[in-house]
Amino acid sequence: MRSMSEEIFDIVDDQDRVIGQVPRSEVHRRKMLHRAVSIFVFDSRGRLLLQLRSAAKDEYPLCYTSSASGHVSAGESYDETAPRELEEELGLTTPVERLVKFPAGPETANEFTVLYRTITDTPPKFDPDEIAGGAFYELDEIDPWIEREPERFSPPFRICFRWYQQWLKDKSFRSELT
């Protein structure tokens, strides 16, 4: 029997269309496709806040990951979930910018994931149930760290971070052309 407080997620098909609602534990146990958000929080110096996941997390415990992230609850949209997760996990209420959507697959923990970003110098207030700690890092510190110790980072974060790094390079290249 599941607990009264267990989250219910929309499960989706391979086109991200809702096909039902299932309890969180069953979604993960059966590796069903579902939805998530990931938020990169930057400070005004351009440093990225990395979160160290709690030891109690059912997936990727004690791994570094995005500043904030979470599942989209049943009936909720990506754009509703991102600010909610940012406030729940970090106590931050800054506006978020939607960047990209990743397809669901094994490397994204079977989650369609939308990546957002925000910039703030407000100190985060880590939710101790979710987060063991965290700190801001220069982007060029993170790359070699992932190369040395990829297992210290959640696979979904590595995908988001690689995409973000390429996006910044492409954006810089485009601006050089104009």
Instruction: Report the pLDDT averaged over residues 87-94.
Output: 97
Q: For residues 135 and 109, which has the higher predicted lDDT (pLDDT)? A: 135
Ordered domains of the chain (ranges, CATH)? 36-100+107-172 (3.90.79.10)
Contact 23, 34 (CB under 8 A): no
What pLDDT shows up at residue 28?
87
User: pLDDT, tens digit, for every residue of 60-85?
Assistant: 999 999 999 999 999 999 999 999 99
